[in-house]
Structure 1
Amino acid sequence: MQAYGKGFAKVYDIKWSDFAKQVAPFILDFYATTPIAQENKSILDLCCGTGHLAMHFLEKGYRVVGLDLSDHMLHYAREHARHYIESGKATFIQGDASNFTLDERFGLVVSIYDSLNHLENEQALRRCFQCVYAVSDGYFIFDLNTRRGLKRWNGIQVDDSDDEMLIISRGIYDGLNDKAWMKISGFVRMPNGLYERFEETVFNTVFEMERVKKALLDVGWKNVYFARIQDLKTPSSHLIHSNPKHTELKSDQKQISPSVSFS
């Protein structure tokens, strides 16, 4: 897993925050109806990026801990949540999703926007699941990019839709190694009015859905299933065979039935 730089963090904060805003209501609508939500109001936002998902939870009265490897991403998250940090409702920590420990237990752990695809291999993914299991008192919801989705990375895209930035994305899917890379470069206007060049290489690892499910079961989760983000309560077993472009993962209560869902 890699830490992203200052320019890319700003681009991410502006251009790629909509996904968090789209999925947050579905996640919270699911969690708010569970018994554990009445007992544990703490949420861990794993690979929290610039904090837009965390902000949705904070605005609904939950306490949030955000963890991300990139200090530049966390800079924006802390700026967005400054009021909640000052009141003790939010904390943002620099850390690796595959190697972290926290003293707090969370009713919900969530990781979105294909963040776990950034782990380099299945061993790192398993370590992540173990870390999450150790701090979870309830549910684990995450998504993954699938092979079909990553094959769409092949090609070049140019985004010059506004005066704030120019983004050039060059993607390639390596079917032999089940990896995808996207080199993202361009210019972004910084607060001082000057443009700063940025360049990042984002990589994703393909994880087989059945092996992801097995890894969760091996760690200790018991009720593991795939579901669409629009309906996290209903298992959709056909998703594991239909090779969707994108998959949402959910895991629920450890004491009752931890689960996983994809959509």
Structure 2
Amino acid sequence: MTFYTPEFSAFFESYYTGWVRHYSPRLAAFLRESAPNIRSVLDLCCGTGITAEVLCDEGWTVTGVDRSPGMLGVARRKLGGLLDSGHLRLSEQDARDFSVPQPVDAVVCLDGALNHLDAPGDLERCFTRVGEALEDGGQFLFDVFETSHFRHWDNLTLLDEAQAVIVKRGVWDADSGTGMLRVSGVLEQDGRPQRVDQTLRSRYYGPDDIAAALKSAGLVLAEHDIETSYVKCESGSCSRTPTPCRTIYRAVKSTSR
């Protein structure tokens, strides 16, 4: 599973968080309305802490889990006050093998993080851990990228701005639904140039993959009335096509298991 370097994490925070900033308040509103008694939330693959901060603002206790020290470093620098207050806990753990001290009322996982899982077996392992972390009746909300997001990986793209000069080039194999993207260049941070050098690997997971992994974990697909798909994404080719960028799923932990 891909993890982000500190330099790429800083670049990601500055350039690739528009969608999650837009969506996190809507997600929090849905959780508040659908589960009025919610107290605790796990933000899986929490990244730089954008969603975690929104959830904490609702008064909930939030545990953020991420495999990347770089992403957690950005989150800790931004959210020190929430960490000191006890409303937020951050933990460096793998999405395929994590644990929480106590079961939570909801788990969220946003911005295509699950596409970094290498194989369907890894997706099942992750969802099994999610099921173990949830209270009975708790809900799991997450998104996965559609193939339209990855089409630009077959091209070379250049970002040339005052703060950053970044080149992206790679390959997306539509037959296997897998690809690799190299992101490299220079990012200015605190007046100093920092070299960015990151290799990303992702896999497409379709509805059948998602359904099988949820079933294996004792999680049941459920409807939701927030939008199910989005077109615009700063980091994908979906920004240049009407084809949806990602799909939003909701699942509930069965109380009969």
TM over 0.5: yes
Residue 256 to residue 149, structure 1, CA distance change in 2 (3 Å): farther
Counterpart in 2 of 1:235? none
Counterpart in 1 of 2:208? 210
1:92-144 CA-partner distances (Å, limit 9, x unpaired): 10010011112221111001110000000000000000000001121101111
CA-CA distance at 1:184 after TM superposition: 0.8
Counterpart in 2 of 1:45? 43
Distance across 1 between alignment mates of 2:79 and 2:55: 11
SS at the partner of 2:219?
Answer: coil
Letter in 2 for 1:180: G
Counterpart in 2 of 1:240? none
Distance across 2 between alignment mates of 1:113 and 1:256: 31
- Worse overlay, 24-33 or 132-141: 24-33
Q: Report the TM-score when normalising by structure 2.
A: 0.87
Mapping of residues 177-216 of structure 1, within 5 Å:
177-191=176-190, 193-216=191-214
Mapping of residues 83-98 of structure 1, within 5 Å:
83-98=81-96
Distance across 2 between alignment mates of 1:74 and 1:179: 26
Contact kept? 2:131, 2:253, Cα under 8 Å: no
SS at the partner of 2:75?
Answer: helix
Structure 1 residue runs of 5 or longer lacking an equivalent are 233-242, 258-263
Counterpart in 2 of 1:30? 30
Counterpart in 2 of 1:140? 140
Residue 207 to residue 179, structure 1, CA distance change in 2 (3 Å): same
Letter in 2 for 1:129: F
Letter in 2 for 1:111: C
Counterpart in 2 of 1:261? none
Counterpart in 2 of 1:66? 64
CA-CA distance at 1:91 after TM superposition: 0.6
Please list every run of at least 4 consecutive aligned residues from structure 1 whose deviation after the TM superposition is greater than 6 angstroms: none
Counterpart in 1 of 2:239? none
**How large is the Cα RMSD of the aligned pairs?**
2.1
- Worse overlay, 202-211 or 62-71: 202-211
Identity of aligned residues (%): 25
Counterpart in 1 of 2:227? 230
CA-CA distance at 1:167 after TM superposition: 1.5
Structure 2 residue runs of 5 or longer lacking an equivalent are 230-242
Counterpart in 1 of 2:159? 159
Contact kept? 1:226, 1:248, Cα under 8 Å: no
Distance across 1 between alignment mates of 2:179 and 2:108: 23
Letter in 1 for 2:117: L
Counterpart in 2 of 1:99? 97
- Worse overlay, 43-52 or 19-28: 19-28
SS at the partner of 1:207?
Answer: coil
Contact kept? 2:228, 2:248, Cα under 8 Å: no
Letter in 2 for 1:164: Q
Letter in 1 for 2:181: M
1:162-192 CA-partner distances (Å, limit 9, x unpaired): x22111111321123320221111101122x
Distance across 1 between alignment mates of 2:78 and 2:218: 35
